[in-house]
Amino acid sequence: MASGEEAESRIHTAAETAAAQLNALAARLCELNRPGDAEILEAQALMAVDPAIIDEAARRAREGVDPGVAIVDAAEVSAVLLAGIEDDLLAARAADLRDVAARIVRVLNGTHLHLPAAPSIVIADDFPPSLLAEMPRGVLLGLALAGGSPTAHVAILARSLGIPAVVAARGLLDAVRGAATVAVDGESGEVVADPEIAELQVLADRQAVRGERDRAASARRGRPAATSDGKRISLLANIRSPDEAPRALEAGAEGVGLYRTEFLFLRRQSAPSEEEQMGAYRRAMEAFGPDRPVVIRLADIGGDKSIPYLGRPEEPNPFLGVRAIRLGHESRDLLLTQLRAIWRAAGLAGVTPHVMAAMVATIADACLLLDLRDEARAQVCAAGQPCPERMVTGVMIEVPSAAIMAPELARMVDFFSIGTNDLTQYVLAADRGNPSLVRFQDALHPAVLRTVAAVIAAANAAGIPVAVCGELAGDPAGAMVLAGLGVGELSAEAGSLDGVRAALAGVSAAQLDALAAESLAATDAETVRAAANELLGARR
């Protein structure tokens, strides 16, 4: 074989080996009950054999460029393009792509990374999620990164695997250079270089208290969530795929309060077919059965989750653009297909479907949702397919105008689900992904809580239930404030449910009422958080 062809063939073989390694790591995460995280590595496996990169690398290699250099250069062209787009998700993909290129080069050169064999804390500028997944369990005691962000894949994976992690610690590398020992507290965000004995003792004591707290919390899983004097709060799980159902059930979820279906639409070349969608929704419904609702959110496309195959023009402010239900005005078929898939899935699973739409801002948006729902049902019935009588239909309250119109909206739908992530972003006019705006991003700000209280009042007046499915619901301090305000249903990541259940069990309904009153009267988020933490601390 001529040397150009030989180099080309080595590139293809190395790319396939790297993809196989990444798929094996993904399978390992699935075995650990982490299918959502496995998707990160599955996506990287696809990048490893992406023809746009591999064919370009092969072309360069045929021209005489070293195969390793050709791979890195070809990947870099795409990575630079991705990193340049103002989109957190795509920027994270640039880091993932560079990681994939480095892996292919290692395969080409027959080299291996020397991962620590002894229990260690990793300190780095950044750390690819695939390496984190590769570290043997028990070896990685903690992670401290100068770069990254709380929403970077490596941070999500570390959280999910229970590895203490501190990210975006500017100046970290200088601060720890030359240190013999480093301690990391992922909960408080502290990294201590060469800690004194007394400091180590404080950290060890905290670790012991948290270990005890976590054990006690997981022991409550079989019991319904309630305050110490028996006021019930329903705890449900947020999921991105039916693969997450077993973990949610194991965590004691009473159903799914938010199934983020847009993940089915991401990282692919065309929209999922009605059949494929129906299969996914049916699996989720069957996993939870007829008595535990699965609230399917219609694809929340737009914002930071743009989908190239829809062919939509770029928007200067995507979070204020054509997102979620707004797509129904322009891409009616997209939502109709999804709704038909939900009706059919529920018909086959023998359950009553629950659906909600994100980004509802006006009465017309809610009307559109109801129209699409009914039109989809008529189509399913006309095709002679089994179809339930009704669909429990709700709207997310995450746009200030919807909160203001809540009394009218409450008379049109079956339930509200408050999305505190976006509600905070829109009430405080602070991009939820902008690290320079952290001081505006705490959903415990009284402006957000007063909005939530008004929405609850409107829901109560109309006699419909109100849930919260934003991150605040999974934060023990936030969950206490929300329960005090009168939220009857909290939906959060499965891993947060133990902590919320334990927090609620440690306080009485009267204490929650008092906390809510104090929170509504406060003038900043810090005061609210301090009051909630004091109550949390008092029960510990």
Query: Annotated catalytic sites, by residue?
Result: 153, 469
Closer CB to ligand PEP, 260 or 529, in the complex: 260
498 binds Mg ion (CB under 5 A): no
Q: Give the whole-angstrom CA distance, residue 166 versus residue 214.
A: 20
Closer CB to ligand PEP, 343 or 426, in the complex: 426
469 binds ligand PEP (CB under 6 A): yes
Q: Strand, coil or helix: what is 397?
A: strand
470 binds ligand PEP (CB under 6 A): yes
List the one residue out of 98, 135, 101 whose CA is nearest residue 116.
135
Find the part of the chain contacting Mg ion (CB under 5 A) among 9-17, 33-41, 394-402, 454-462. 394-402
Residue 478 binds: one of ligand PEP, Mg ion, none (C-beta under 5 to 8 A by kind)? none
Closer CB to ligand PEP, 99 or 398, in the complex: 398
**Contact string (CB under 6 A) for ligand PEP, positions 390-429, x = contact:** --------x--------------------xxxx-------
Residue 35 binds: one of Mg ion, ligand PEP, none (C-beta under 5 to 8 A by kind)? none
Return the beta strands (E) in 41-200 as ranges: 120-124, 140-145, 165-166, 182-185, 190-193
Q: What are phi and psi of 7, to 5 degrees?
A: -60, -40
CB 422, min distance to ligand PEP, A: 3
Residue carrying structure tokens 């029960």: 539
Q: Give the whole-angstrom CA distance, residue 534 versus residue 485.
A: 18
Residue 420 binds: one of Mg ion, ligand PEP, none (C-beta under 5 to 8 A by kind)? ligand PEP
* Buried-state track 8-19, b at ≥16 Cβ within 10 A, e below 16: bebbeebbbbbb
151 binds ligand PEP (CB under 6 A): no
Q: Give the whole-angstrom CA distance, residue 107 versus residue 131.
A: 14
CB 239, min distance to ligand PEP, A: 12
* Buried-state track 171-208, b at ≥16 Cβ within 10 A, e below 16: ebeebbeeeeebbbbbeeebbbeebeeeeeeebeeeee
* Interacting positions 202-221 with Mg ion (CB under 5 A): none
The site for ligand PEP, by CB under 6 A, has a size of 10
CB 62, min distance to ligand PEP, A: 45
CB 300, min distance to Mg ion, A: 6
CA distances from 158 to 129, 134, 196, 511 (A): 8, 12, 27, 34
| 190-193 and 182-185 beta bridge pairing | antiparallel
CB 260, min distance to ligand PEP, A: 5
Closer CB to Mg ion, 44 or 420, in the complex: 420
Closer CB to ligand PEP, 60 or 260, in the complex: 260
Task: Give the type of residue at 25.
Answer: L
Structure tokens, 540: 């510990």
Closer CB to ligand PEP, 192 or 307, in the complex: 307
Q: What are phi and psi of 77, to 5 degrees?
A: -60, -45
Q: Give the whole-angstrom CA distance, residue 86 versus residue 316.
A: 10
Residue 496 binds: one of ligand PEP, Mg ion, none (C-beta under 5 to 8 A by kind)? none
Closer CB to ligand PEP, 142 or 419, in the complex: 419
Q: Give the whole-angstrom CA distance, residue 468 versus residue 145.
A: 32
DSSP string, 262-304: GGGTSSSSSPPPHHHHHHHHHHHHHHH-TTS-EEEEP---BTT
Among 34, 240, 260, 344, binds ligand PEP (CB under 6 A): 260
Among 37, 39, 134, 300, binds ligand PEP (CB under 6 A): 300
CA distances from 1 to 7, 9, 12, 215 (A): 10, 10, 15, 62
Closer CB to ligand PEP, 145 or 473, in the complex: 473
385 binds ligand PEP (CB under 6 A): no
Residue 149 binds: one of ligand PEP, Mg ion, none (C-beta under 5 to 8 A by kind)? none
* Interacting positions 9-38 with ligand PEP (CB under 6 A): none
CB 121, min distance to ligand PEP, A: 31
254 binds Mg ion (CB under 5 A): no
CB 263, min distance to ligand PEP, A: 10
CB 469, min distance to ligand PEP, A: 5
Give 294's Cβ-side CA count (13 Å radius): 33
* Interacting positions 409-428 with Mg ion (CB under 5 A): 419, 422
Q: Contact at 8 Å (CB) between 139 and 119? A: yes
* Buried-state track 322-342, b at ≥16 Cβ within 10 A, e below 16: bbbbbbbeebeebbbbbbbbb
Instruction: Give me the residues that bind Mg ion (CB under 5 A), please.
Output: 398, 419, 422
Instruction: Give me the residues that bind ligand PEP (CB under 6 A), please.
Output: 258, 260, 300, 398, 419-422, 469-470
